[in-house]
């Protein structure tokens, strides 16, 4: 949904496909391009034709390219492998994932007391790797000790605040996509938050696109906790939350007026760029949003193309 705090778009986005002069003019406005990935550069395991040539074009013009992903199951290093597996040369410095965003937020923005620095994770290895890189201690996550059923003894120990089950040094609960989600982890996360831990999420996407359809997303992992907590939502460190934009800006130190967000979803990617007051936004029609959504919707990009590779038409 569109942000209720932001006025609806009223302009007509510029359609750049086939407009060589328009593309040149558009590209010249920006030094940095932030790319949503799935639906823009590829779909699933299928790289769109011309993706690499387009990235090469931008790089040859001296543009900084950043791959921005809400995927929390992968670390930046994992993501570079994925990019390279699809044939896209890249470096970890160009990747900005929600697991990295969350780790930076915890280490550099949250001010946790020294005895409350541990993070209880609902999520996969991507989060663990990024927390480790920031020297943040953690528990939960992929630890096999948590891959089990809750027992009658667990109820009593949790109720009693048994420190062998509820580590008193946990000051943060971080929830990302977890293929190993279970009742015990949800119960522990709930009790950590009740005992004062900060409630964070790598992102709150309700669904995860895969194989051409949808599966439970990271937001579906935090939904039970929000319900148990009477509606309390986690602070999300992924798109379209501006905490992620701030983290990207902190990392790349770019001029927002000279940056452009490229994405296929009006309500997440384009909104992320507009609310981040970037100089521009570019929609592509190879993913979720339709031409109608871009042209008549509440959240409209500054410009759009049928497909990313249409930018090659500037030459």
- What residue ranges bind a copy of itself (CB under 8 A)? 149-150, 155-156, 158-159, 178-183, 186-187, 190-191, 206-207, 210-217, 219-221, 223-228, 230
Identify which of residues 110 and 150 has a Cβ nearer to a copy of itself in the complex.
150
Cα–Cα distance list, 302 to 42, 74, 105, 218 (Å) = 22, 31, 30, 29
36 has binding-site annotation:
yes
Is 162 labeled as catalytic in the residue annotation? no
143 has binding-site annotation:
no
CB of 221 to a copy of itself, least distance (A): 7
Identify which of residues 29 and 195 has a Cβ nearer to a copy of itself in the complex.
195
Cβ atoms of residues 34 and 261 within 8 Å: yes
CB of 206 to a copy of itself, least distance (A): 5
Identify which of residues 12 and 210 has a Cβ nearer to a copy of itself in the complex.
210
Identify which of residues 180 and 258 has a Cβ nearer to a copy of itself in the complex.
180
Q: Which of 36, 78, 205, 269 is catalytic?
A: 36
Per-residue DSSP letters for 255-298? -GGGEEEEES-IIIIIHHHHHTT-SEEEEESSSS--HHHHHHSS
Query: Would you say the C-alpha torsion 108, 112, 117, 119 has a positive or negative sign?
Result: negative
Query: Would you say the C-alpha torsion 207, 305, 88, 211 has a positive or negative sign?
Result: positive
Is 167 labeled as catalytic in the residue annotation? no
Q: Which of 19, 28, 31, 38 is catalytic?
A: 38
Beta strands in 143-223 (DSSP E): 170-175, 198-201, 207-210, 213-216
Binding-site members for substrate are 239
Binding-site members for Mg(2+) are 36, 38, 264
Catalytic residues: 36, 38
């Amino acid at each position: 949904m569109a942000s209720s705090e932001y006025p609806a778009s009223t302009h007509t986005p510029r359609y750049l496909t086939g407009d060589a002069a328009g593309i040149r003019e558009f590209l010249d406005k920006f030094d940095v391009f932030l790319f949503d990935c799935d639906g823009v550069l590829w779909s699933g395991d299928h790289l769109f034709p011309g993706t690499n040539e387009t990235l090469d074009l931008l790089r040859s013009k001296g543009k900084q390219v950043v791959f921005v992903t809400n995927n929390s199951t992968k670390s930046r290093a994992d993501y570079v492998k994925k990019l390279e597996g699809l044939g896209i040369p890249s470096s970890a410095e160009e990747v900005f994932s929600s697991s990295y965003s969350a780790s930076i937020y915890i280490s550099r923005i949250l001010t946790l007391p020294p005895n409350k620095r541990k993070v209880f994770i609902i999520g996969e290895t991507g989060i663990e790797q990024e927390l480790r890189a920031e020297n943040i201690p953690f528990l939960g996550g992929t630890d096999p000790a948590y891959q089990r059923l809750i027992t009658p003894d667990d109820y009593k120990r949790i109720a009693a605040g048994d420190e062998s089950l509820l580590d008193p040094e946990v000051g943060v609960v971080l929830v990302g996509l977890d293929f190993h989600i279970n009742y015990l982890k949800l119960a522990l996360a709930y009790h950590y938050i009740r005992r004062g831990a900060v409630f964070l999420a790598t992102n709150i996407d309700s669904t995860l696109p895969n194989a051409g359809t949808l599966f439970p997303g990271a937001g579906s992992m935090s939904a039970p906790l929000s319900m148990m907590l009477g509606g309390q939502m986690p602070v999300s460190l992924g798109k379209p939350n501006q905490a992620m934009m701030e983290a990207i800006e902190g990392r790349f130190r770019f001029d927002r007026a000279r940056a452009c967000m490229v994405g296929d979803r009006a309500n997440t990617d384009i909104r992320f760029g507009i609310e981040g007051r970037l100089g521009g936004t570019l929609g592509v029609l190879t993913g979720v949003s339709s031409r109608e959504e871009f042209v008549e919707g509440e959240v409209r990009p500054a410009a759009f193309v049928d497909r990313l590779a249409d930018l090659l038409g500037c030459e």
